[in-house]
Structure 1
């Protein structure tokens, strides 16, 4: 069995409560599942298998500078979460990115060097 983990990169440059952060991470997880598995299945496309990941469901939450999140957003291959601005943040604030499900060995060095979110 692989050591699959879902990596969520959180914007370290914004001030956000723990409850709000939990909601944003929840959006990142659900959006990933929707766009990688549910929506492709509805369209008859090939889906990403989540079977192996679902055995343990490890999630790693890392602090990441906003400029790096913006680079990932421009790359267009990640699940990006921007806040609607209903409560604590300005509308369209980049809060986090779901980097995907990977083994630690698959991560680039810069991701391995990010600090865990405290």
Structure 2
């Protein structure tokens, strides 16, 4: 069995409260599961290694510069979360990107160099 983890990259260039951040990470988790598991299953497609991930459900939350998150957004391959701007942030603020579920050896080197969000 592989050690799958979900990697969520948080915009280090914004000031955000812990509760707000928890909500944004929650959006990233749910969006990823919907677009990469629920929707494909409904369409009869094979999904990512969700069974192995669900055993421990590890989530790695990393600080990432906004410019890098914007690069990921441009590819269209990731779940990107932008805030509606109803409380702490301006509308359309890029808060985080769910990079996906994978093992650490599948990550590019630049992600391995990011610091944990604490």
Relative to the length of structure 2, the TM-score reads 0.96
Structure 1 unaligned residues grouped into runs of 5+: none
Number of aligned residue pairs: 118
Deviates more, 1:40-49 or 1:91-100: 40-49
Residue in structure 2 matched with residue 102 of structure 1 by the alignment: 102
Deviation of 1:10 after TM superposition, in Å, equals 0.0
Cα deviation digits, residues 4-38 of structure 1 (max 9, x gap): 11000000000000000000000000000000011
Residue in structure 2 matched with residue 18 of structure 1 by the alignment: 18
Structure 2 unaligned residues grouped into runs of 5+: none
Residue in structure 2 matched with residue 64 of structure 1 by the alignment: 64
Say which SS state the counterpart of residue 10 (structure 2) adopts. strand
RMSD of the alignment, in Å? 0.9
Deviation of 1:41 after TM superposition, in Å, equals 1.9
Relative to the length of structure 1, the TM-score reads 0.96
Residue in structure 1 matched with residue 77 of structure 2 by the alignment: 77
